[in-house]
Chains A and B, each alone.
Chain A
Amino acid sequence: MTNNLLFDFTVDKAAKTVFVTREFDADQSLVWDAFTKAEILDQWVAPKPFVAKTKFMDFKVGGRRFYAMVTPEGQERWSIQKYTSISPKTNFKMFSAFADKDENPELPGSEWDYTFSEKDGPDGHRVTTVSITIYNESLARMERMIEMGFTEGFKMLMNNLENLLASRKESGLSPK
């Protein structure tokens, strides 16, 4: 990976929990927006060639987001998320489950806990660290997360990643 930003991923299989930490080269309020505003989420959560489409998002405690991953063939795979806790700019928690087109969740789901913090980067930019804890009621459910949205597009997805990295290099963003 030609990226100098931290990406840490660990799995505790016994606790059915995944821990992810990632740094972003932007200040905390911008990164917070990217995770909590539908119009920005839709720009990055779907690995291409999939497209994300948020039907509604009510970002408040008890509010829900209903969205679909749309395949290149136009097939929609719905998910529903419910926000269980929000501390503006620093933390939010949600319950996420696959759903049918009528917003009925298919249980079991998973619990996501996002924590945001900011520090000075090496070049004077602000760097935001996002720590995510993903608890799955069943590992089988985690497998479906892959199956539902992604395996079929996995090869294309890897190509996308390469293109993305290449375009970063061209724009002079890659680390020395």
Chain B
Amino acid sequence: METRRDVFQAIADPTRRAILLLIAAQSMTPNAIAEEFHSSRQAVSKHIQILTECELVKHEKKGREIYYHINANKINEIDKWIEQFKNILETQFNQLDNVLLTLKKQKK
């Protein structure tokens, strides 16, 4: 199995973020997505491929067309990671509380 790209690499690109925003509202065919961008169809299809590889989007076949939609579970992974960043800040600040307390005592 080839190594999958991670979600952060995927959302680091502005076009891919725009694609995610587009299909968050409604599922779309690759052609309909490509029409929203100035870049070539191949370029857009490459972006969709990356988003699919890291499972941020899923596709569904309806008749002869393929529709792409957002994978909500994977989006949650980003939120989980943001939560970690929050925890780190929280820890730092709790440490600072103690430092401030020590400094205040020293002043007295």
Contacts and interface: CB of A to CB of B under 8 A. Distances in A.
Contacts of B78: 13, 139
B100 A140 contact: no
Interface stretch (B26-34, B42-50, B57-65, B88-96): B88-96
Contacts of A167: 98
B81 interface: yes
How many chain A residues sit at the interface, stated as a range, is 35 or more
Given A30-B103, A34-B99, A161 B94 contact: yes
A44 interface: yes
Given A24-B97, A138-B12, A139-B8, A157 B91 contact: yes
A161 B91 contact: yes
Interface residues of B, number: 30
Contacts of B104: 26, 30
Given A143-B81, A146-B81, A34 B94 contact: no
B76 interface: no
B106 to A, nearest CB: 11
Given A139-B12, A145-B85, A45 B92 contact: yes
A164 interface: yes
Listed residue (B11, B17, B95) with the most chain A CB atoms within 10 angstroms of its CB: B95
A128 B74 CA distance: 38
Interface of A: 1, 3, 5, 7, 9, 11, 13-14, 18, 20, 22, 24-26, 30-31, 33-34, 40, 43-45, 47-48, 138-140, 142-143, 145-146, 149-151, 154, 157-158, 160-161, 164-165, 167-168, 171, 173
24 contacts: A7-B90, A9-B89, A11-B82, A18-B82, A18-B85, A24-B93, A26-B100, A33-B103, A34-B99, A34-B100, A34-B103, A40-B99, A44-B95, A44-B98, A139-B8, A140-B8, A142-B8, A150-B84, A150-B88, A151-B84, A157-B91, A161-B90, A164-B94, A168-B98
- Lowest 10 A-B CB distances belong to which pairs? A140-B12, A44-B95, A44-B96, A26-B100, A143-B8, A140-B8, A138-B12, A9-B86, A47-B91, A44-B99
